[in-house]
Each structure stands twice: as C-alpha cells, then as structure tokens.
Amino acid sequence: MAAITALLPPPPGVTIDTGFPGAVHDSATPRAKRSPKEAYALVRRNVDHLKHLLQLGVTLSGPGGSHPVVWQFNFRGFDERLDPHAPESIAMLKAHGMDFARLREDGIDPGDFADEFMRSGLNHRRPRRGRGAPEPLTWVAFSGSYDFAYLARMLFRQGSKGLPQKLEDFGRRVEKFFGPWVLDAKYIAKTCRIEDGGLEKVANTLGVQRRAGVAHNAGSDSLLTADVMLAIVLQLEGPPNYDYKVREKHAGKIDGLV
C-alpha cells in the first residue's frame, strides 16, 4: 500500500474491479425494467448475504490514462465448503485461475487490508503533495454497483449491520469515502450510445485489446476497464478536454442505480 501511495499520479485516476462469490438472489423484475431502488435492494441483499470480497484489482493511471500500474489483491475468509455462493460463479473463477485453497491459506486478511487502504491515501481527501487543498481522486469501475458495494462494505467494516438500507444513504456513503468523481464506464458507454454490453463487448466495439492477464481476474479487468474508459473519453471529447466534461456530466452515476 505504501507503493500505491507513492505512485498516485497527478491528477490521480483509480480504476477498480472486484471478484466475489456471484449472486444468489434475483428479482422477478427483468433487469432492464428495475428501478434504481429495486436494483440497489438486490445488490444489497446479495452483498450482505455473501459478504466476502475475493479479489480487488486496482489500476493507477496518470493524465490521459498514461503509465498505468496494476495491483491485484487476493483475500482470505471465504470457504466454498461453508459459505453461501453461486456455484457457477465459483466454477468460472476457478476456470480462470483462482485457487480457493491458496486464498484460505495465503490470502490477505480483509481487516488488515482495510486498515492499510484507509492509510494509503486512496480516498478523496488525500492531501496534495506539498501544500494546497485536497486533490480529489477519480474512481472508475465498469458496471460498478457490486464493486463499490463490496469494497465499501469491507472498508467501512459493515459487519453484521450490512450496507445502508436506502439507495440515497448508499450514495452518500460512496461519496463520503470515494469522493465526488465516481464514474461507471458501462453507464457512460450505454448512455452515450457507444455500446450496451459487458466489458469485453464494449472493449471490442472501441477497438481496445486486453494488455495483460486474462478475463475474470480483477487486476487484468481493472486495467482493461481503465483502457476502455480512456477510449470512451477520447471518443467523446478528444485530448484537449480529456475527462473533465465527462466527469462533470456523469460523476456519481453507477449503472443500474440511476
């Protein structure tokens, strides 16, 4: 985490992706017809039931997506023999290289990680190097409702209390920690009529190739998401404005929750 703090670029951009045990609760309402409150209620129900974050991918990048640096954190705590999960999701993660036995033995303790993460500077109140007002981070995810929900649950030590019951309170919780510049690349691609689909489909539409790793590994997916976000911004604005107008228009809008 000290390395992440040292490498936070100006202006700082943080792209995340998570791995988790799937979803075991569904809704009778089709996804496309769910209201934001219905969608959040389903996210909350799944996250509070399944609890465990398995992987976190973090990509740091500088202006214009320059010089990305990627980490992947693997967590202990989940036991597929005991903990609720979606079997098809666990099978998919295994097929893409996740070793659950090793996670139980060698994974990072989530509580220890949360403490280090909070001290690392990865929050919107990180002070500028030297003097001046806090320099806000820009956080990016792709279809980020579960990403931010799982990460918020771990970092805020929700425990048995769980996530906030109301969508509005969840939004305030996300902004309190992650700050005002939270972007969802899927939401932007969809609303700007670039593409409405999964990460790989949007990447293919934009001509973005995976630079490292394999799909469904959080580190690799966070890097691909960062590259997709850059391609979206360049298509919508071009280099002179980079992401400022995109941030102002789409900040705080997480796909499915708006």
- Within-domain flag for 243: yes
Average pLDDT over residues 170-176: 93
| Cα dihedral: 104, 20, 125, 253 (round 10) | 180
- Is 71 part of a structural domain of the chain? yes
Structurally, the chain folds into a number of domains equal to 1
pLDDT tier at 109, thresholds 50, 70, 90: very high
Tens-place pLDDT, residues 186-209: 999 999 999 999 999 999 999 999
Radius of gyration of the chain (CA): 17
pLDDT in tens, 18-55: 999 999 999 999 998 999 999 999 999 999 999 999 99
pLDDT confidence of 235, banded at 50, 70, 90?
A: confident
Q: Can you point out the beta strands (E) in 30-180?
A: 55-61, 69-74, 138-141
The residue-averaged pLDDT of 239-257 equals: 80
257 found inside a domain? no
Show the domain range for 51: 2-250
Whether 121 is covered by a domain: the verdict is: yes
Contact criterion met (CB below 8 Å) for 180 and 251: yes
- Is 18 part of any domain? yes
With respect to residue 258, please indicate whether it lies within any of the assigned structural domains.
no
**11 has a pLDDT exceeding 60:** no
Asked whether residue 193 is assigned to any structural domain, the reply reads yes
- Write down the mean pLDDT value for the chain: 89
Least confident of 139-143, 192-196, 215-219: 192-196
Q: Give residue-wise pLDDT tens across range 55-69.
A: 999 999 876 666 789
Instruction: Name 182's bridge partners.
Output: 139
**What mean pLDDT comes out for the span 229-251?**
78
Whichever domain contains 72, its CATH number is: 3.30.420.10
In a domain? residue 255: no
Residue 215 has pLDDT above 80, yes or no: yes
The pLDDT value recorded for residue 127 is 47
Res 68: pLDDT? 86
Full-model pTM: 0.90
Instruction: Report residue 9's pLDDT band, with 50, 70 and 90 as the boundaries.
Output: low
Strands, sheet with 138-141, edge to edge from the N-terminal-most edge strand: 69-74, 55-61, 13-19, 138-141, 181-184
